[in-house]
Chain A
């Protein structure tokens, strides 16, 4: 998709989201859903960048999110760093972890990268629950309760009054999604796609697989870590249950619905998935069944997701003549 169409879709999303509190701001539950939509959209966008564009089958995105959340909560609760500072530190810490995970992955391809990154995900739960976790302040199986709310310029942003927190999250969402858009549409994005398509050809043309792959690991884990930090200071409590299969699958569904490698599909996918999850909540145990059927149908009928479908419908000669960005 070209710059103009991407920017137009994203501007529409930003505009609609900014307007929603005027109509729905009185219902805390709805505002909560909207905040979660924004946070998950950031995480899903990061996953799309690393998997859809860079072609690295990283299954560590939920782990990075949880690492960011726990890091921010621990730094803020134990070391009394301001929540805003804690979120930034958490982002930096998660980026460092991302680089450490990325380094062995540079020697691997496809399913093996998925295995290594998912192993990180699997290892995290016992680490957080066990003695090591308790020693560093994760609260073990109990998790972390009473995480300080975010305070900026004398204003407290908490879940008790979701509208201010919503706008703060919206700003965070806009910054993160714009960074991802610029990366995708810059020569960095071109390098990611080239490495995904043919690593040997890309290397023979001067692209350093080491530099670009490690950068994408660092960038996506940094932003995901920030999102984790935002989440923990909003919700006010943390549990290792975030590492359960539910969230992992839900994020995958977001990508599948939006279209992997069809940015900003991941954002739309996140909005649809979070909303659908809540709307179908009254169905109880039938909810996952219905969502499962919908996903199967979607993947079979529209393998490139919603954005892929829209692109197919609206592909014009003008689109094909788009100038590349270097």
Chain B
């Protein structure tokens, strides 16, 4: 469905993403992890056209390398941001409506927007200003606006950050629902390894923009290089016990 072939991104001397290749199959959940500054969010910015890059990015067989973000969104690739981005001048319902009107569907469907609001459990705040929501509310709103575009693949950037255990469980359930019930493929960047191992079908670990390991999450998390460079011995021991 989505293929990255030898993708490289440089910011001056800094190589943010180095010859990275991976592919995401339709209907799957693909995880990306790595230390801070590893280039995870940059990968999202490359896929969604926010940055230009070397190499090739394909979506459903079409070359989308260098395409502008709005065109990529209309093809069916949608995303959330690590730091919540919202429309402070709009209500929750209006914000989700923006995704529905301008996204892949290209028209406003009130029923679809209501459905998204209901799935995300945002009914009670639907007329509230987007800026008035708490962190979790803003993250859900971003997810809602992205889902309203009718994406084929959804890119989630650290959706669990700043959430407590109950919220994490609820978000995991929500992501599973989006994947299974709505048939949307998902790429998720996350630091919580437990979330990634439980949620994803394939896990990619990157450091300094370079792939360290990619494959089955259980195998990846027990890989000695991954433990050494990212997870640490403590994680490996706690996992064994």
Q: A interface vs B, CB < 8 Å?
A: 187, 190-191, 193-194, 196-198, 200-210, 320-321, 324, 326
Contact = CB atoms under 8 A, between A and B. Distances in A.
B88 interface: yes
Contacts of A210: 68
A210 B85 CA distance: 20
Contact of A207 (B98, B107, B127): B98
Given A198-B85, A198-B87, A208 B50 contact: no
Interface in B81-118: 81, 85-91, 93-94, 97-104, 106-108
B75 to A, nearest CB: 9
A193 B95 CA distance: 11
A204 B102 contact: no
A187 to B, nearest CB: 6
A326 to B, nearest CB: 3
Given A320-B127, A324-B93, A324-B97, A204 B87 contact: no
A197 B90 CA distance: 9
B73 A204 contact: yes
B55 to A, nearest CB: 21
Interface of B: 48, 50, 68-71, 73-74, 78-79, 81, 85-91, 93-94, 97-104, 106-108, 127, 142, 145-146, 148-149
Given A197-B88, A198-B85, A326 B73 contact: no
A203 B87 CA distance: 12
B interface, over-half SS:
mixed
Contacts of A191: 98, 102
Contacts of A320: 91, 127
A158 to B, nearest CB: 44
Given A197-B88, A203-B50, 9 more contacts: A190-B94, A198-B87, A200-B69, A201-B145, A203-B68, A203-B70, A204-B69, A205-B145, A206-B149
Given A206-B70, A320-B91, A187 B101 contact: yes
Give the top 10 A-B pairs by smallest Cβ distance, nearest first.
A326-B108, A206-B102, A201-B85, A203-B69, A206-B73, A326-B101, A197-B87, A324-B94, A208-B70, A205-B99
